Structure 1
Amino acid sequence: MNLIQIAAGPIIGAIIGYVTNYIAVKMLFRPINPIKIGNWTLPFTPGIFPKRKGQLAKALGNAVGNNLLTSKDVENMFLSENIKNAIVQEIGSSLYEMDEHHTLKNIFAGFVSQDAYQVLREQAENIICSKIMSGVSRMDIGTIIAREGRRAIKEKIHGTMLALMVNDQLIASVASPIGAKVDAYIQENGQDMIRSIVREELAVLENQPLATFMQKIEIEEKHLTGMVDRIYSVFVQKKLGGYIKQFDIAGVVEKKVNDMDVLEIERLVLSVMKNELNAVVNLGALIGFVIGLLNLLLK
């Protein structure tokens, strides 16, 4: 047996192993479309990735949305010290440095429509009026006026001849109806009077520059930043998770993968696994060589 005959078996085995694994790797992505002969579809066409792209997209979407990037993960990310401090500092500084054109009305206009703003304004007006009216009713102003009226009358007539003719019952008969009239007037007209005042004050407030408003209520930048920090933390902890679920990260990832061209998926996979896939091809050559060599030794 000459040298060529000895080397032929392992070399042919290596070539077969190399070509077989090379074809197997290529069949992950090729052919892109099924090959048909009449009504018969050639087996193993299209390739694995083109054929299973929908299942791959769904699996990746579930993996990312339900395991890798959950709403809790996003919440923790936004609550991390670096990100939270950066966002809070930026918002606090921006609010404090706003010029005269940045009124409360203009700021809200950047987030909601004019109609939505009017609805919010009316709701705020109704809540404020209701709270004030409720407080006024609890104060029982009519009773206070009647009581203070009786006291004032007694003080006024004390030590005079009139005090001998005017007793407590007479004073009460004068003061009590006045108190009752005041209560009735408040119940009948108080809401409208309060609403008129609240509406005027809200108009002044909403057209006032934010910087002026903060200066009036003596909010320093560090205090403003602290308020923003608390609001931000509460929002992230209580609201962000619900918004993330509405985003449907799994669905977004699935749609993105489904929208990708098969060639894009191939380039993406090869950018990560090219060396490993080449190693699989070379391993096929090595196994083929070893099998050819063993076959030669066993003869």
Structure 2
Amino acid sequence: MAGEQRMNLFTLIVFMVVIGAAIGAITNAIAIRMLFRPYEAKYIGKWKLPFTPGLIPKRRGELARQIGKTVEEHLLTPESIERKLNEPDFRRDVTVMLQKEVKPLLAADQTVAEILEKLHFKEAEQRTERWIESWIDDKYNGIKNFYLHQTVRESLPAEWLDTAEEKIPDISRYILTKGIDYFSGFEGKWRVKRMTDDFLAEWGKFGSMLQMILGNTSLEDKIQPEIVKFLSSPGTKDLLNTLLSKEWEKLLDWKWEGVFQQFPDEKALAKGKSFILRQLDVPSLFQKPVAAFLQPFEEKIISEVIPSLVEKAGSIVATRIPVIMQKLRIGDIVREQVETFSLQRLEQLVLDIARSELKMITLLGGVLGGAIGLIQGLVVGLF
């Protein structure tokens, strides 16, 4: 009789443990399920069933705001991003990636015009030439306006003025040498003859009388040596030096405003621009492949420019992260994205992240339910 009682008690305890475990596990599973289900409110007539919709569908807007706030304040913080940008390993990885990406570009056989065409830059050659002309105009007008009311002496460097002044005797010597060579030659003699013939013709009878006095010797034969002698005289050189020095001093006191009035610069500027454009030969530059410009600097670009660029750009971006984050408003972006998720996708997202934990919660409910059933079975057995 006692053995049968013990068997019945054991069976009762096992039964209560199983029932408690089942109740605990099923209850937790239902509770987890009720986080998402149902997606919409359910009604019986006009009476809304309690606990519908599920917790997460009901509070999706608040959940989205909290997730955005958490991401912005605790996950994607300016400090964490700045710390990541300053990590040597991160910068090294970015440098290696850029070096790999740049190598094909350095060897590209596409012309500059073709690349600009793909980037939707229309009439690049003409626009470049117009920009160069405009740049020349701006620079020239800026310099011109700056010096317009200054004298030549004020605008030119002192060493230039000293050098020019030192060249005056050389200029005098050059002028006199050329004059002597000219009047010593046939052309100079012919020029003197014409001048004397014109002189004698103007004086009429007095000119004929003068020619008779000279006899067989022509007047130009008398004048030509005197001209050469005059040009060879040291006094003539001193005189010319003095004249040139005085004129140079007058020139130094000229204002550029007056110079431009005497010598208009429009034609000179147009010719200057035309000359520069011919030298640059912009159309041929645009028809050259990109590699022709970049390959000579390939080693420098890969080994020096890119690492330096990553270093400087990383530092600049890192210091501006707080402003960038404030402008991006990460919290709002995350909130908007979460709000666009369908409830099925949101449920699947949570389940994918916490599936093992939710299983453990269900199992824990079963364990606790079984433990409660065991205690209840023992209590019943005692009484």
* Alignment TM class, shorter chain as reference: 0.7 to 0.9
The 1:28/1:8 distance shift into structure 2, 3 A limit, reads same
Instruction: Give the CA deviation at 1:24.
Output: 0.5
Partner of 2:99: 89
**Gap runs ≥5 in structure 1:** none
One-letter amino acid matched to 2:372: I
Note the aligned Cα RMSD (angstroms): 4.3
User: Does 2:17 correspond to 1:10?
Assistant: yes
Looking at CA atoms only, which structure, 1 or 2, has the larger radius of gyration? 2
User: Does 2:28 correspond to 1:21?
Assistant: yes
Instruction: Give the CA deviation at 1:276.
Output: 1.8
Instruction: Give the CA deviation at 1:31.
Output: 0.9
State how far apart, in whole Å, the 1-side matches of 2:133 and 2:123 are: 15
Alignment check: 8 A CA contact 1:150 1:172 kept: no
Alignment check: 8 A CA contact 1:75 1:236 kept: no
Choose from 156, 170, 178 the match for 1:155.
170
Alignment check: 8 A CA contact 2:125 2:282 kept: no
Instruction: Give the CA deviation at 1:54.
Output: 2.5
State how far apart, in whole Å, the 1-side matches of 2:129 and 2:68 are: 42
The 1:192/1:65 distance shift into structure 2, 3 A limit, reads farther
Instruction: Give the CA deviation at 1:97.
Output: 0.8
Alignment check: 8 A CA contact 1:77 1:83 kept: no
One-letter amino acid matched to 1:68: L
State how far apart, in whole Å, the 2-side matches of 1:223 and 1:207 are: 24
1:29 counterpart SS class: coil
Instruction: Give the CA deviation at 1:280.
Output: 1.2
Choose from 213, 220, 224 the match for 2:293.
213
Q: What pairs up with 1:4-83 in 2 under 5 angstroms?
A: 4-70=11-77, 80-83=90-93
Partner of 1:222: 299
TM-score (norm 2): 0.60
The 1:202/1:14 distance shift into structure 2, 3 A limit, reads farther
Alignment check: 8 A CA contact 2:125 2:286 kept: no
The 1:9/1:238 distance shift into structure 2, 3 A limit, reads same
Instruction: Give the CA deviation at 1:71.
Output: 5.7
**Gap runs ≥5 in structure 2:** 174-233
Partner of 1:238: 316
Paired positions, count:
294
Instruction: Give the CA deviation at 1:186.
Output: 9.2
User: Does 2:102 correspond to 1:102?
Assistant: no
User: Does 2:353 correspond to 1:275?
Assistant: no
2:50 counterpart SS class: coil
Alignment check: 8 A CA contact 1:22 1:281 kept: yes
1:220 counterpart SS class: helix
